[in-house]
Amino acid sequence: MMVSRRDFFRTCGGVGCALAAGASAGSGLLRAKPAFAGNVPRAYPARFWKKLGQKRIECELCPKHCQVDDRERGFCGVRENHDGEYKTLVWGQPCAIHVDPIEKKPLFHFLPGTRAFSLATAGCNLECKCCQNWDISQSKPEDVDFRFMPPDEVVRNAKDYDACVTFTYSEPIVFLEYCIDTAMAARKAGVRTTMVTGGSGEAAPMKEALKFLDAVKVDLKGFTEDYYQRLCKGKLEPVLKTLEVIRASGVWLELVHLCVPGQNDSEPEIRAMCHWVKTHLGADVPVHFTRFHPEYQMKNLPPTPNATLVRCREIGLGEGLHFVYTGNVPGLAGENTTCPKCNKVVVARRGFEVDEIHLKAGHCAFCGATIPGVWS
Amino acid sequence: MAAIASRTSGEPSTGKPRVVVVKAKKALVHGYDADRGALRAMLAAGLVALTQQKDAVASLSKLVRPAERIGFKINGLAARQAATHVELVDEVSALLAKADVEGRQQIAFDRFARDLSASGFSSRLGRYRCVGNDEAGHEEELSQMPSSASRLSRVLTSQVDGVINLPVLKQHMLAGMTGALKNNFGCIHNPNKMHVDRCDPFIAEVNAIPAIRDKQRLVIMDALRPVVDLGPAYQAGMIEVANTLIFATDLVAADAVGLELLEKLRARHGLPTLAKAGVTPTYLATAAKMGLGVCDLSGIEVVTIEV
């Protein structure tokens, strides 16, 4: 069944839903203004860095380990050396704020049918040629419109919307201090916190954040170093390490693989990835195969054919993964959560809407099997 | 006036791009301030030798037209101690005014207003405007390159017709060296994404963007006190006074000659070559391969003048 992008928008539920890719700065409570001029971001002390002498510092937030001179910034563009002290220019300064269905992240095993108070700052430590949100992720703080929203205000807003807090759209790792401080405040207030990330981070700061997070969705963008280097200006290995760190922490984890035609969707690559997920993370970690839409520097490619998504899902199931989904194509088989024991649908979805839930305290309502996730 | 036309106007018939290296006995006062009298003499000698015109004003008239708005792309990253000398830009501005490009048609620009200010560039002085890209903004439309994509500075795209490129010669820990080609990273919104792989091929590709390439009129490289190591920031003890300005219309050739000078200064400072230090600026050869200019010194006519 073919569903157009426009039709998909119509089917999207919740507030602030905008793009099929699960992330957009194009609409919502605060809209990013690309090429905005005149905003001066405030600088706050950054964590996770060390001094190298002569005012040069080394950032220890992500595997790039940028060595940054005085008055310069690292690859992410949001952390700056001020006279030998590293500062973050995005703490408390989100440029995109939306209330989304949690399914849009996508997190399918985390409080289905609830809402996510979603926010992002400028900047990213990767540069994916197919980025859906390049207008904020590839911008510096002063290039976008932003507002000041300290952690307590984020938590109050999330409570008002009866939502969890979700750091998403760009790359939360580059605003990790803000994430950690907000997640701490949220936990104190009894509000859950989730993160949507590319996973290209160092273990120590990630472990610090995981103390206060309730779920993480990681974009596993490809399963070759070539893909990461050629199309993302990143590396695969650190992402795999991050996945293991998250899994070991016990924080709920889901994966997304955006299937870019001809780039990361070959059968051997998908099979190898699914095998790695099963052997290193376990069969219960959900994997979402989602449709690519031409964007940013990859407008020359077609959207992912539905058949590719279906085939990827079959490979994942064939490799023994219990929960494999298709995404960005409402109505395509693979949106529902099926009990791995009795094969009955326990959560029925269409797009970002949840139609039915047949779970009892985290167990299949039909056969009683445990369905892993955070359900209450 | 097209960049290619200006590149050949007044140059010798050898077919080689000309690069003029002007060295003064003393061009600095009070540590890092530049001596305006010395600068005037250096500019006159360099511009005349580059264009073969009778004087500096006539030389500039060969490179820019009276109606044009001219941008001074300075490098203000390292503030006053290792930025383009404001005295140099002031003197170029004064010459341009005599060539009927008035001060109100001139803009000094760089990435951040604060860098301009810290380097001594201020519109309050009334000579020419000083604008940071963070104040003027960037175009919304992306300029696509083979390896990346960028938004261009609105100063570049809509406020100037031509650019006089005034880089500072510095060693750069990631790129190897910074000169005229790398100075144009200050015309895009995301240079932070392009410092991987020795900035290669990113520097070359940025300089091949038509809106950047076609506006380059002249390079005057500030090599009065180059940063010979641990650049691009100012580092105490890493300055070698060279009292030199380098003139060219070929950005690649200007950088190639600048690189040769940088290597000499590094040797004088007891430093290894950039290749031995593991930071060969490979982007120069890439730029040459892309047809942006000449990087082989044997293909460049280097004229050296002492004033």
- The Cα–Cα gap between A115 and A164 comes to 6
With respect to residue A174, please indicate whether it lies within any of the assigned structural domains. Answer: yes
Q: Please give the average per-residue pLDDT across A265-275, as a whole number.
A: 98
**Looking at CA atoms only, how far is residue A40 from chain B in angstroms?**
9
The rounded Cα B197 to chain-centroid distance in angstroms is 22
Alpha helices in chain A, H assignment, sequence order: 5-11, 134-137, 151-160, 176-189, 203-210, 225-232, 236-249, 267-276, 306-318
With respect to residue A57, please indicate whether it lies within any of the assigned structural domains. Answer: yes
Number of domains in chain A: 3
Whether residue A15 has pLDDT greater than 90: no
DSSP character for B229?
A: S
Note the pLDDT of residue B79.
85
- Cα-Cα-Cα-Cα torsion B277, B283, B284, B287, nearest 10 degrees, comes to 170
- Which residue in the block uniquely carries the two structure tokens 């605060």? A30
Q: Spell out which residues of chain A touch residue B77, defining contact as CB-CB under 8 Å.
A: 71-72
Note the pLDDT of residue A30.
58
The most confident of B75-89, B124-138, B282-296, by mean pLDDT: B282-296
Whether residue A9 has pLDDT greater than 80: no
Q: Please give the average per-residue pLDDT across A129-133, as a whole number.
A: 95
Q: Six-digit token pair at A277?
A: 């997920």
Mean pLDDT across chain A:
90
Note the pLDDT of residue B145.
95
Whether residue A159 has pLDDT greater than 70: yes
Last residue of one domain, picked from the residues A73, A88, A103:
A88
Q: Please give the average per-residue pLDDT across B21-40, as a whole number.
A: 93
Nearest to A143 among B173, B189, B235 (CB): B189
Whether residue B279 has pLDDT greater than 90: yes
Q: Which residue of chain B comes nearest to A36, CA vs CA? A: B137
Query: A71 at the B interface (CB within 8 A)?
Result: yes
Residues A226 and A119 in one domain: yes
The arrangement of strands across the sheet holding A49-53 comes to A49-53, A56-59, A67-68
DSSP string, A50-110: EEEETTEEEE-SSTT--EE-TT-B-TTSSEEEETTEEEES-TT--SEEEEEEGGGTT-SSB
Q: Spell out which residues of chain B touch residue A70, defining contact as CB-CB under 8 Å.
A: 78, 233-234
Residues A186 and A123 in one domain: yes
Query: A63 at the B interface (CB within 8 A)?
Result: no
Q: CB distance B149–A36 less than 8 Å?
A: no
Q: Spell out which residues of chain B touch residue A42, defining contact as CB-CB under 8 Å.
A: none
pLDDT digits (tens, 9 = 90+) for B183-215: 999 999 999 999 999 999 999 999 999 999 999
Q: Which residue of chain B comes nearest to A74, CA vs CA? A: B192
Nearest to B137 among A35, A74, A297 (CB): A35
Query: A140 at the B interface (CB within 8 A)?
Result: yes
With respect to residue A149, please indicate whether it lies within any of the assigned structural domains. Answer: yes
Residues A74 and A98 in one domain: no
Q: Six-digit token pair at A199?
A: 């996973």
Confidence of residue A13 (pLDDT cuts 50, 70, 90): very low
End-to-end CA distance of chain A: 33
**Worst-scoring range by mean pLDDT, A42-56, A105-119, B32-46, B116-130?**
B116-130
Note the pLDDT of residue A25.
40
| Residue A214 and residue A374 in contact, taking contact as beta carbons nearer than 8 Å | yes
Note the pLDDT of residue B67.
86
Q: Which residue of chain B comes nearest to A72, CA vs CA? A: B77
Confidence of residue A309 (pLDDT cuts 50, 70, 90): very high
| Residue A111 and residue A102 in contact, taking contact as beta carbons nearer than 8 Å | yes
Confidence of residue B77 (pLDDT cuts 50, 70, 90): confident
| Residue B184 and residue B264 in contact, taking contact as beta carbons nearer than 8 Å | no
Q: Six-digit token pair at A59?
A: 């950032």
Note the pLDDT of residue A38.
57
Q: CB distance B136–A37 less than 8 Å?
A: yes
Mutate which of A297, A298, A299, A300 to test chain B, going by most B C-beta atoms within 10 A?
A297
**Looking at CA atoms only, how far is residue A47 from chain B in angstroms?**
20
Nearest to B233 among A70, A74, A75 (CB): A70
- The Cα–Cα gap between A124 and A162 comes to 28
Whether residue A4 has pLDDT greater than 80: no
**Looking at CA atoms only, how far is residue A11 from chain B in angstroms?**
30
Residue A233 β-bridge partners:
none
Note the pLDDT of residue B61.
96
Q: Six-digit token pair at B99?
A: 């060539």
Q: Six-digit token pair at B231?
A: 């650049």
Mutate which of A138, A170, A232 to test chain B, going by most B C-beta atoms within 10 A?
A138
Alpha helices in chain B, H assignment, sequence order: 3-8, 36-51, 56-63, 86-98, 113-118, 133-136, 154, 180-183, 202-207, 210-213, 251-268, 283-289
- For residue A111, which amino acid is it? L
- Angle, helices A236-249/A203-210, rounded to nearest 10 degrees: 30
| Residue A82 and residue A69 in contact, taking contact as beta carbons nearer than 8 Å | no
With respect to residue A293, please indicate whether it lies within any of the assigned structural domains. Answer: yes
- Which residue in the block uniquely carries the two structure tokens 């995109």? A96
Whether residue B177 has pLDDT greater than 70: yes
Q: Spell out which residues of chain B touch residue A55, defining contact as CB-CB under 8 Å.
A: 233
Q: CB distance A138–B196 less than 8 Å?
A: no
State residue A375 phi and psi, 5-degree precision.
-110, -10
Query: A344 at the B interface (CB within 8 A)?
Result: no
Query: A55 at the B interface (CB within 8 A)?
Result: yes
Q: CB distance A35–B151 less than 8 Å?
A: yes
The most confident of A133-142, A203-212, B76-85, by mean pLDDT: A203-212
Helix (H, G, I), strand (E, B) or coil at B172: strand
Residues A61 and A158 in one domain: no
Residues A159 and A171 in one domain: yes
Note the pLDDT of residue B9.
42
Q: Spell out which residues of chain A touch residue B136, defining contact as CB-CB under 8 Å.
A: 37
**Looking at CA atoms only, how far is residue B242 from chain A in angstroms?**
23
- For residue A55, which amino acid is it? K
Residues A79 and A97 in one domain: no
Residues A200 and A311 in one domain: yes
Residues A260 and A342 in one domain: no
Confidence of residue A6 (pLDDT cuts 50, 70, 90): very low
Q: CB distance A35–B138 less than 8 Å?
A: yes
Residues A190 and A97 in one domain: yes
With respect to residue A327, please indicate whether it lies within any of the assigned structural domains. Answer: yes
Closest CA to A133 of A148, A147, A119: A119
Q: Six-digit token pair at B138?
A: 């960037």
Confidence of residue B12 (pLDDT cuts 50, 70, 90): low
Helix (H, G, I), strand (E, B) or coil at B176: strand
Residues A69 and A213 in one domain: no
Residues A221 and A82 in one domain: no
The most confident of A217-226, B136-145, B234-243, by mean pLDDT: A217-226
Closest CA to B21 of B290, B262, B209: B262
**Domains of chain B: residue spans and CATH:** 3-306 (3.40.50)
pTM of the predicted model as reported, rounded to 2 decimal places: 0.87
Q: CB distance B190–A142 less than 8 Å?
A: no
Q: Spell out which residues of chain B touch residue A71, defining contact as CB-CB under 8 Å.
A: 77-79, 115, 233
Q: Which residue of chain B comes nearest to A126, CA vs CA? A: B193
- Which residue in the block uniquely carries the two structure tokens 């708005």? B69
CATH code (residue A199): 3.20.20.70
3-state SS record for A215-239: EEEEECCCCCHHHHHHHHCCCHHHH
Q: Exposure of B72 by Cβ count < 10 A (0-12 exposed, 13-18 middle, 19+ buried)?
A: buried
Query: A296 at the B interface (CB within 8 A)?
Result: yes
Mutate which of A65, A85, A86, A143 to test chain B, going by most B C-beta atoms within 10 A?
A143
Q: CB distance A38–B135 less than 8 Å?
A: yes
Alpha-carbon distances of B70 from A234, A266, B26, B129, B157, rounded to whole Å: 39, 52, 29, 11, 12
Nearest to A69 among B138, B154, B233 (CB): B233
- The Cα–Cα gap between A276 and A308 comes to 20
Whether residue A23 has pLDDT greater than 50: no
Q: Please give the average per-residue pLDDT across B138-150, as a whole number.
A: 93
User: Which residues form the domain of A49?
Assistant: 44-88
Confidence of residue B11 (pLDDT cuts 50, 70, 90): low
Whether residue A18 has pLDDT greater than 80: no
With respect to residue A376, please indicate whether it lies within any of the assigned structural domains. Answer: no
- The Cα–Cα gap between A185 and A68 comes to 31
Q: Please give the average per-residue pLDDT across A326-353, as a whole number.
A: 94
Last residue of one domain, picked from the residues A58, A88, A118:
A88
pLDDT digits (tens, 9 = 90+) for A192-245: 999 999 999 999 999 999 999 999 999 999 999 999 999 999 999 999 999 999
pLDDT digits (tens, 9 = 90+) for A174-186: 999 999 999 999 9
Whether residue A14 has pLDDT greater than 50: no
Closest CA to A62 of A228, A177, A173, A140: A173
Alpha-carbon distances of B133 from A375, B93, B108, B283, rounded to whole Å: 49, 20, 11, 25
Contacts of residue A237, Cβ cutoff 8 Å, sequence gap at least 6: A225
Residues A124 and A67 in one domain: no
Whether residue B98 has pLDDT greater than 90: yes
Q: Spell out which residues of chain B touch residue A73, defining contact as CB-CB under 8 Å.
A: 192
Confidence of residue A22 (pLDDT cuts 50, 70, 90): very low
pLDDT digits (tens, 9 = 90+) for A35-90: 445 578 999 999 999 999 889 999 999 999 999 998 899 999 999 999 999 999 99
- Which residue in the block uniquely carries the two structure tokens 């002031």? B90
With respect to residue A160, please indicate whether it lies within any of the assigned structural domains. Answer: yes
**Worst-scoring range by mean pLDDT, A14-28, B103-117, B223-237?**
A14-28
